[in-house]
Amino acid sequence: MKIVIIGGVAGGASAAARLRRLDERAEIVVLERTGYISYANCGLPYYIGGVIEDPEDLTLQTPESFFARFRVDMRVRHEATAIHPERKTVSVKNLETGEEFEEAYDKLLLSPGAKPTQPKLPGVGLKKVFTLRTVEDTFRIKEYLNAHHPKSAVLAGGGFIGLELAENLRELGMEVIIVQRPRQLMNPFDPDMASFLHSEVRRHGVRLALGHTVEGFAEKDGGVEVLLKDETPLRADMVVLAIGVTPDTALAKEAGLELGLKGSIVVNDRMETSVPDIYAVGDAVQVKHYVTGQDAVISLAGPANRQGRIAADNICGGDSRYPGSQGSSVLKIFDMTAAVTGVTESAAKRAGLDADAVILSPMSHAGYYPGGRLMTMKVVFEKSTCRLLGAQLVGYEGVDKRVDVLATAIHAGLTAIQLKDLDLAYAPPYSSAKDPVNMAGFLVENLAKGVVKQFRIEDLGRLPHDGSATLLDVRTGGEYRRGHIEGFRNIPVDELRERLGEIERGKPVYVLCQSGLRSYVACRILAGHGFDAYNFAGGYRYYDAVTGEHRLIESATDCGMDK
């Protein structure tokens, strides 16, 4: 059997290795149009910033090492130019010699990945306007930095690559502005959780121009002007387009394969395309979202590698199935870590799910052990069933650990309440006796059983200020004086029982504290004395981060530009 693989990075390389492990006699040919195989896309910004010093560390394998281990014919600088399903061949061009030929196959695996989204704007092709997707892209940027020592950069796009590159360019001492049309960074997060990311990048000197539309680029005075709709242009020494990726499926389209979202290749759970004997994996394919069951395009290395393995199993006569993608991911943003799995609350509601969320601010480990830091967790669940739908975490140590636990719980079909029963490892340097994941389960259980009722940040504008309800802040007097929500009166929780007479009976009481814990205690005290109490999800710390961000977005200072 002869298998031809188009694309030798994540999915393609994984498939090739698995094919050889399953079939020692198969002829395996990999066609890769770049000069590199099996490289780490996620590591590219860190080479630009100097964190990864040796360029060879970016490639997990070379064509030579791959052949030595697996006897796979890795042909770099070979571009597949057409697929001919009717005669089971692929047209190929050797990019170094110009030679063109056809390669026959018994089975064909497409792993072309995705290409940087490049809008058709004036100036996209300027020499100082870069994209970052391949090793060659990385070297071009690095060579430009070394040769010209630019002092400023505009990054068009605030996703994974944009934020990682922003951090690394700032570490080189450059001025960095991120500009994009969406009014938040990192679309996989809800806007409230993205607020914490905005604060972190601003704290490290990155300026944000959110909600602005790029209309083109122009060379001026030795630099680049970024032309914005209805705004003063931004000027920098270089520009990097990081506005997302698009499935690279021109070959599949021309060959008549069925395409789906964003032009992605439609596959079944065996990674088979609509054409017999042709499989597809990675960033170019349409998958089912594991939580919603809806079609999705999720460009992440983990799913691509697993899909490559599944396709190889099936090519060799097995019956492996891909259950869908959850979108689990983690990101380093300067000193902070941000992670997500499943669906956001807003995405869940768009999918027609009756979603709710709990928000908590636990410590990364036991509070009495030195070095603990707060994290913010948002756990999304379905109201009627408490089915766990997703989670977002922002913090420092321990964020990656918790998101992996939550991702596993979603995959296992646990409810949000069952999080309370997970037997998680505890020692003071690493966690608390009640792990943050357990705490999320306790919160959801309390809501489901009516032990506590909550109100959310979006409800604040609807709270009555006419005396028909009591708005209560149960933090200490010092905390209250340092900042509070207008209309909320202060009675510290430890004084509440003695001051119940100050709260009018027969009216609902809306309670908040710094993180939601003391206000929960206050709600139980009030409920025990016959009051109808509601706890504010997330606490004042969360409120201050989110509303402070909204104030910035609504003001001219948000764009970070000189007016």
In this structure, are residues 39 and 58 in contact, taking their beta carbons and an 8 Å threshold? yes
Catalytic residue flag (residue 386) = no
Query: How many of the other CB atoms lie within 10 Å of CB of 294?
Result: 14
Helix (H) or strand (E) holding 226: strand 223-228
Q: How far is CA 120 from CA 88, 124, 215, 217, in A?
A: 35, 7, 9, 11
CA pair distance 491, 64, nearest whole angstrom: 71
CA dist 474 and 525 (Å) reads 12
Q: State whether residue 288 is helix, strand or coil.
A: strand
Helix (H) or strand (E) holding 236: strand 234-236
| Residue 500, helix vs strand vs coil | helix
- Angle at which helix 191-203 crosses helix 160-171, to 10 degrees, equals 20
Q: Burial level of 127, CB count in 10 A (0-12/13-18/19+)?
A: exposed
Q: What is the DSSP letter of 237?
A: S
Helix axes 10-22, 301-315, angle to 10 degrees: 30
Residue in 42, 316, 523, 559 annotated catalytic: 42
Q: Can you tell me the distance from the alpha carbon of 283 to that of 160, in angstroms, rounded to the nearest whole number?
A: 15
- 8 Å CB contact between 272 and 257: no
Which token pair is 360? 């908590």
Please give, one letter per residue, the 3-state secondary structure of 290-337. CCCCCEECCCCHHHHHHHHHHHHHHHCCCCCCCCCECCCEEEEECCEE
Query: How many residues does the structure list for the chain?
Result: 563
CA distances from 434 to 143, 166, 442, 517, 536 (A): 50, 36, 10, 14, 21
- Torsion sign (Cα): 443, 448, 451, 457: positive
DSSP summary character for residue 206: -
Q: Name all contacts of 367-372 with Cβ < 8 Å and 24+ positions apart.
A: 367/432, 368/428, 369/428, 369/429, 371/397, 371/429
Residues with active-site annotation? 42
